[in-house]
Amino acid sequence: MPTREEPPPLPVQNRSFLAYLATQALGAFNDNVFKQMVLLLAVGYVAVADFQSVVQLLFALPFLLFSGFAGDVSDRFSKSQLMVRCKLAEIGVMGFGFLAFLWFTRDSTGTAPPTGLWLLAGVTFFMGSQSAFFGPPKYGGLPELVRKDDLGQATGLTQMTTFLAIIFGVMFAGQLLQWFEAELWIPGAITIAIAVAGTLTSLGIADLPATDPGRRLGGRSFLSVFPTLLRVVRGDKLMLDVVLTYSFFWLVGGVCLIAINSYGRLQLGLDYVDTSLLVSTLSLGIAIGSVAAARLSKKRVRIALIVPGMLGMVACLLAILLIGAPAPTADQIAQYIASKNSAPSAAAASIVPEAAGATKWAVAAILASLGISAGLMSVPLLAFIQARPPFEEKGQVFAMVNWVNWLFIVGSAGVYGAGISFTHYKADVVMAGMGVLTAIVAVWFVPRILRRVKVERPDFIWTPGAEPLPNE
């Protein structure tokens, strides 16, 4: 078998990697543009609970259903060809989104979720499905596209561009709705154009031969994470506690990202742009906190950073109540929906005066601090998960952890839906409730984790000013 030629160095000379980087960034950007637009349109509509929870559920569900099968497909076939096919599928999905946007514009009457909104929610399910199949070849193909010595840099560039794509995608979604809510076919057409651009860049990714062309695909592929999960539950209590605590981060994030949309629109009277900026502020804070955690760790797994991280999360989530934002009544929400139909740009202001500039800055500061705290909490937990299993089991463990994360994200839709219904659209109370839940999780899990780590891996305990371990 011929030896594969070594890829060129990063970043500029490796054009295949640049094509890969652009492809995955455009995909993340498009996902967040589309999903955030649908979430913003869903604010105020109720189907059992706030319709945002339905959208969140439908987007996350495919990752639970298809991740195992998608992983086997990624090994069975060429990863580069799979990425191209996933991008072609994205064009089709966005095409259906375009039609759903058209239907929503013509069908948006009354207070119940219109047919067009149900169609848009259905499109998010197929968008999540496409992303679930794109993920394994995306992450699995990266080591084959770059030199071994460049893998760390390539991973960092991939993570950075993904996070930036998410932040700018959410921001762009708010701007698109602000400009074109009465003509939603225009944002729909823009998402198709972004998908086409991502497909064109995917054609520049070098051919990657299948790693396991004999892999059999069947029902077991869908259940592949369960043996690993069962092994961790039965034999590694420390790992189990860390995985559950790390996945709780995704539960809080899932609830807050959609609660902020309701909070901004219905309690602060903000337009689509400012509401999306608040969501982006939280995401930016997570990125800053993640970088800070990496620097504080000094190349070691400083698991005790979860203590200030979770304390900060509790404080910030509870601090939202100090803003004192008014809560909308059922009649005001009905008025909001009616105003959306007749004068979209004035809908939020029709039920509550727009928050003062000082209030906006205070909320943004709280959300940024929440994100920073969440980054401090999540990074050491993820680093521990990466360091814990032996090399030959890492792939199985990562797949299991990813599946559990998505289980908690699916759960976040239910938690948000129940919370927003129980509090009668007091999104700030829902976020404060997550603060109380975070405090309970911290009291229950953190002492157990630190106690077990102190016994099993004392080098993972953080000490200010400590130097890296030799050879780390």
Return the pLDDT at 158. 82
DSSP classification of residue 50: E
User: Please, what's the b/e burial string for 62-76 (b: 16 or more CB within 10 A of its CB; e: otherwise)?
Assistant: bbbbbbbbbbbbbbb
Q: Determine the pLDDT at residue 395.
A: 64
Q: Which residues contact 271 (CB under 8 A, 6 or more apart)?
A: 174, 178, 345, 348, 354
In which residue ranges of the chain is CATH 1.20.1250.20 found? 10-206
| Second-level CATH architecture of 223-465 | Up-down Bundle (1.20)
pLDDT at residue 19, as a whole number:
93
CA distance 261 to 279: 8
Burial class (CB in 10 A: 0-12, 13-18, 19+), 105: middle
Instruction: Give me the phi and psi of 260, to 5 degrees please.
Output: -60, -35
Integer Cα distance of 173 and 276 in angstroms: 7
Q: What is the pLDDT of residue 462?
A: 47
Which pLDDT belongs to residue 40?
A: 93
Cβ-proximal residues to 353 (8 Å cutoff; 6+ apart), any chain: 269
Q: What is the pLDDT of residue 45?
A: 87
Instruction: Report phi then psi at 46, rounded to 5.
Output: -125, 125
H-run or E-run covering 47: strand 46-47
Give the pLDDT of residue 467. 42
Q: The domain at 10-206 falls in which architecture?
A: Up-down Bundle (1.20)
Distances in whole angstroms, Cα of residue 192 to Cα of each of 188, 314, 403, 464: 7, 40, 29, 50
Q: How far is CA 430 from CA 223, 257, 327, 425, in A?
A: 34, 12, 12, 9
Is the separation of the CB atoms in 324 and 359 below 8 Å? no
pTM for the model: 0.88
- List the one residue out of 138, 145, 151 whose CA is nearest residue 26: 138
Written as tens digits, the pLDDT of the chain (472 aa) is: 345 577 777 767 788 889 999 999 999 999 999 999 999 999 888 877 789 999 999 999 998 998 888 888 888 888 889 999 999 999 999 999 999 998 886 665 566 788 889 999 999 999 999 999 998 888 777 778 888 777 767 777 887 888 899 999 999 999 999 899 888 999 999 999 999 999 999 999 988 888 778 777 777 777 878 888 898 888 888 889 999 999 999 999 999 999 999 999 989 989 899 999 999 999 999 989 888 887 887 666 788 889 999 999 999 999 999 998 988 887 778 777 777 665 555 556 667 788 888 999 999 999 999 999 999 998 888 888 877 777 656 667 778 888 999 999 999 999 999 999 999 889 999 999 999 999 999 999 999 988 888 877 665 554 444 444 333 3
Closest CA to 259 of 27, 426, 23: 426
